[in-house]
Structure 1
């Protein structure tokens, strides 16, 4: 065939892929269209303060790259202790490549772009896996990919958590492992055939001739797998851990009825996987060392019970057509952690499909993963409608295992998403096969009706956005530079996870100053336990209490001395009171703590404390 005809043939073969990818991308844009329409001041209201945090991550990564500074840690937040960026899932895998976008268009554009490409990419990657390794029908594969990319948990995390939305590398890792296993199996069969042939001819086997080819193939597979895992580490380690556990369970059950074949496959791919692990370590050893042993590192984080309520498994997600009609009792951890919410119709359809196709090994493995990880997501004791039944569950024995103890247990249901998608994909393929045999067969129509019954209520709606207040002119216009001399800005009260607006103001100023406090994960005390936000300073706690109660606290000499000590700890240059709740109470409180009244400059009240704190080291 001529080159133009070969190109035309490729286009025809890829037509389905193009149609599917266009559909996924259109749906992703639609879901986030509210944010896309207002990239200047739009804010995903259900993100809490997480959107501000992620925008700051992307902005500070671009700032560090542009200024050739170390991106793994920064002193711009939580001054003077700083923040370990690797321990905060800063997503360097997208933050660094998208630095030009962030510098040109701002971190909000980067944030919504990452979320959009994450939904689209995750759906298309699973579609690619299903269409190449599981089923012949592109339509069946597209249905499975659609569920993987736009499942309730994915839409919920699209409000605030790019690290749980950009999951496209996980199916590619699975695809690589599947092909490695298949290649090992093919080599084993060829070896058996060669040995049988040469034994029949009573000639020595010539297997050594294949060693160079085999070694080259193993190295190629190892490098690909190692690179994919390293890239996923740069995107998010918690999703990788959940995926690795679920894939291991899937493989174990898949080979359960043929243990010899499973053991042979495991032994065959082990050298290739070990080499891939070495490649991954070589690519990530410096970032991982920084994460676990560098400045402001921590060993684990105590997040308390974060399990799914049993009712959440059967309800419809809030951002869906079903949720608009029947949203049920609110039993989610928060709006960004609706990690189950599959809806009762889907469970009925998946259960019936799994029973009807139980003979298929992939279905048995997928069903086991679904049940096992759903049970794990329920936590240590069973909760039903916010009521603790006291019934002990398997997570009780695992919640103190290193690495697992930092995972939010409700997120384990995300392992069920591709498993459920696999069952739906195989069921759709079987229905299409019936349809090919007989156009009047009732079973395909029944299945498609069941799919519509299960999936239509889960159709995502547009994520709601609001307009956030503009950055105070004091920061946006650069006035802050006149008040900073190698020290920090102390916002009143200092930023914390419940109110992290100051991070955006700092980014809008061009990172002209470091901030006391902030929204991040860092160690507390000397225990190496992680916590959200900085260690509590007495003055920060006093100001926060005054704001919440709207009452000026008693300010004595001890409180003034403590305020001076805290300002020296923060190496403060200026205290700033922007427009906020109960600002008059805060202003009068700081006046008494500092000993002189505030000055109103460019939309904020400020106290220049450089003379009060004294000289400092320019470093």
Structure 2
């Protein structure tokens, strides 16, 4: 019910509205359609030339979620990609909270304590922020299940190590096909926690190490066998990005972000929000807010139960995750200082250069949920003898979590869906797997990116030039001048096309094998149509609410 309340604005019109307010959700909708389409049409699921034709893209470097796409396939096929996306976002909160509850119950926390910890994790500022645009990061079922597996591997050791390693390997494979970054961050968090545990239990390392080694070996073999193909495409396949995909030390936790609420919180003074808006990154990544009451509660739990090994390991690992989240240089109130942080050394390790530090906060919130659950469980146990202790525990948790209450409902956006693309009769006139040029041109603009949803809604009937993806920079394209002209025209309405430029634009249309051109409704549709009429020397056909040039032959 909490998940539905958060997403209720999108559910008022689930076929055209979606949770979020940036372009990334529309890219995710394209991925939700691509995976089942590639499977049913015998295309490679890891690469595609249906976007950025003819060069295509390497999906392994993009945020596609093939596991979720296959699970949600029946809804995508019947109700469309927008509805499927909203279903996944809504379920993500509930599934994350439930997995955290499951892990805490496994750690023998009381039902009430597990419920409180599940709420903290499943509806944390990390989850609320990332729900604004990053489906692959809000599907956060993996961290709690990883905690469960690591605890069983290192502490309890009750099951066959080969079987446990197989299950751990399958879990990692599932997360690989959901979010490679959360998997990589999880490996870092697990290594840190096990290393810290080894420091506190040095006498037990020798006896437990063989079991741990067998589990890890089995997990590595399982993962290597199942991931050999996609990994080979990722690191040796076409259209790989060169260099770092995101600016360094930008998407980090500001020192003040731990105590200043953002626009995502229900209780957020305007002055605090103004400061938070000045932090580096963007609102979807400003996810480190804890609030002073929760910080006090966590500090009390660590002080009161420090002798418990679980608390020692959990608190130190959580502290390390928070430090990692702050990046390689300390940020204070939006300013980058010269103070170096440990991430400056870690980021030099392979693959970690592409990880965004602030996303370690998902593991911090999970570990914070463990500390809160320990505190509530212990105080509740005391409450069996003293009713006041239970009341104190309930009040402390309520006060600590109250500042984290999200602003309900979450922001929602509307995707423009012309009737032409939603009509199977009309869109079926486009030749199968031919190349279509749509205007506005799809290039990193929240309006123009809607063309990805149109293509997905058509069942991937056609290919497009342009798109929204991660790849080589500058991107490989056969239509650079046409893209520049259409992008400027779609954003400013200014047509700078001279008669001398028309022959070059015609050559680019021919190089891209454009068969159909579609101009959709918009503020500059008349000017876009005029440009194509001059290029093709003929008028368009009126098809429902769009203008179409069929059988383009330059």
- Please report how far the alpha carbon of residue 477 of structure 1 lies from its aligned counterpart in structure 2 after TM superposition: 4.9
What is aligned with 1:346?
294
Matches of 1:68 and 1:316 in 2, distance apart?
48
- Please report how far the alpha carbon of residue 607 of structure 1 lies from its aligned counterpart in structure 2 after TM superposition: 4.2
What is aligned with 1:82?
56
Structure 1's 345 and 182: CA in aligned 2 closer, same or farther, altered over 3 A? closer
SS at match of 2:18: strand
What is aligned with 1:195?
none
Indicate if the aligned counterparts of 1:307 and 1:409 stay in contact, CA closer than 8 A.
yes
- Please report how far the alpha carbon of residue 39 of structure 1 lies from its aligned counterpart in structure 2 after TM superposition: 1.4
Aligned pairs for 1:177-196 (under 5 A) are: 177-184=150-157
Does structure 1 residue 500 correspond to structure 2 residue 449?
Answer: yes
Structure 1's 273 and 289: CA in aligned 2 closer, same or farther, altered over 3 A? same
Indicate if the aligned counterparts of 1:309 and 1:331 stay in contact, CA closer than 8 A.
no
Deviations 1:164-213 (A, max 9, x none): 122223322332232233454x7xxxxxxxxxxxxxxxxxxxxxxxxxxx
- Please report how far the alpha carbon of residue 431 of structure 1 lies from its aligned counterpart in structure 2 after TM superposition: 1.0
Count how many residue pairs are aligned between Structure 1 and Structure 2. Answer: 546
What is aligned with 1:522?
471
Matches of 1:492 and 1:38 in 2, distance apart?
25
What is aligned with 1:94?
68
Does structure 1 residue 115 correspond to structure 2 residue 63?
Answer: no
What is aligned with 2:399?
453
Aligned pairs for 1:393-472 (under 5 A) are: 393-440=341-388, 443-460=389-406, 461-472=408-419
What is aligned with 1:286?
229
Matches of 1:308 and 1:183 in 2, distance apart?
35
Indicate if the aligned counterparts of 1:474 and 1:604 stay in contact, CA closer than 8 A.
no
What is aligned with 1:542?
485
Does structure 1 residue 29 correspond to structure 2 residue 36?
Answer: no
What is aligned with 1:192?
none
Q: Answer with 122-131 or 173-182: which moved more.
A: 173-182
Structure 1's 521 and 265: CA in aligned 2 closer, same or farther, altered over 3 A? same
Matches of 1:311 and 1:231 in 2, distance apart?
35
Matches of 1:466 and 1:91 in 2, distance apart?
21
Does structure 1 residue 311 correspond to structure 2 residue 256?
Answer: yes
Give the counterpart of 1:48 among 18, 22, 27. Answer: 22
Structure 1's 234 and 551: CA in aligned 2 closer, same or farther, altered over 3 A? closer
5+ unaligned residues in a row in structure 1: which ranges? 1-25, 187-213, 526-530, 613-619
Aligned pairs for 1:214-613 (under 5 A) are: 217-298=160-241, 301-304=244-247, 305-323=250-268, 328-329=273-274, 330-331=277-278, 333-440=281-388, 443-460=389-406, 461-473=408-420, 476-482=423-429, 484=431, 487-498=434-445, 499-524=448-473, 537-557=480-500, 559-594=501-536, 598=540, 600-608=542-550, 610-612=552-554
Indicate if the aligned counterparts of 1:474 and 1:601 stay in contact, CA closer than 8 A.
no
- Please report how far the alpha carbon of residue 225 of structure 1 lies from its aligned counterpart in structure 2 after TM superposition: 1.6
- Please report how far the alpha carbon of residue 63 of structure 1 lies from its aligned counterpart in structure 2 after TM superposition: 2.4
Matches of 1:363 and 1:264 in 2, distance apart?
23
SS at match of 1:261: helix
- Please report how far the alpha carbon of residue 274 of structure 1 lies from its aligned counterpart in structure 2 after TM superposition: 0.7
Indicate if the aligned counterparts of 1:552 and 1:588 stay in contact, CA closer than 8 A.
no
Matches of 2:183 and 2:333 in 1, distance apart?
30
Deviations 1:403-450 (A, max 9, x none): 11111122122221111111111111121122122224xx54444323
Does structure 1 residue 143 correspond to structure 2 residue 92?
Answer: no
Does structure 1 residue 72 correspond to structure 2 residue 18?
Answer: no
> Normalising by the residue count of structure 1, what TM-score does the alignment of the two structures yield?
0.81
SS at match of 2:522: coil
Matches of 1:181 and 1:463 in 2, distance apart?
39
Matches of 2:415 and 2:453 in 1, distance apart?
11
Indicate if the aligned counterparts of 1:381 and 1:396 stay in contact, CA closer than 8 A.
yes
- Please report how far the alpha carbon of residue 300 of structure 1 lies from its aligned counterpart in structure 2 after TM superposition: 5.4
Matches of 2:9 and 2:226 in 1, distance apart?
38
Deviations 1:507-550 (A, max 9, x none): 2223221111111222346xxxxx7x979812211222233333
Indicate if the aligned counterparts of 2:143 and 2:363 stay in contact, CA closer than 8 A.
no
Structure 1's 331 and 263: CA in aligned 2 closer, same or farther, altered over 3 A? farther
- Please report how far the alpha carbon of residue 483 of structure 1 lies from its aligned counterpart in structure 2 after TM superposition: 5.4
- Please report how far the alpha carbon of residue 139 of structure 1 lies from its aligned counterpart in structure 2 after TM superposition: 0.8
- Please report how far the alpha carbon of residue 501 of structure 1 lies from its aligned counterpart in structure 2 after TM superposition: 0.6
Q: Answer with 565-574 or 324-333: which moved more.
A: 324-333
What is aligned with 1:170?
143
Structure 1's 234 and 348: CA in aligned 2 closer, same or farther, altered over 3 A? same
Deviations 1:473-519 (A, max 9, x none): 26635435545476311123420222311111112223221111111
SS at match of 2:284: coil
Indicate if the aligned counterparts of 1:140 and 1:425 stay in contact, CA closer than 8 A.
yes
Indicate if the aligned counterparts of 2:478 and 2:511 stay in contact, CA closer than 8 A.
no
Indicate if the aligned counterparts of 2:443 and 2:487 stay in contact, CA closer than 8 A.
no
C-alpha RMSD over aligned residues: 2.7
Matches of 2:297 and 2:426 in 1, distance apart?
61
Q: Answer with 228-237 or 539-548: which moved more.
A: 539-548
Matches of 1:594 and 1:556 in 2, distance apart?
13
Indicate if the aligned counterparts of 1:300 and 1:405 stay in contact, CA closer than 8 A.
no
Indicate if the aligned counterparts of 2:485 and 2:497 stay in contact, CA closer than 8 A.
no
Structure 1's 480 and 40: CA in aligned 2 closer, same or farther, altered over 3 A? closer
Instruction: Give the structure, 1 or 2, with the largest relative contact order (CA under 8 Å, sep 6 or more).
Output: 2
Structure 1's 293 and 391: CA in aligned 2 closer, same or farther, altered over 3 A? same
5+ unaligned residues in a row in structure 2: which ranges? none
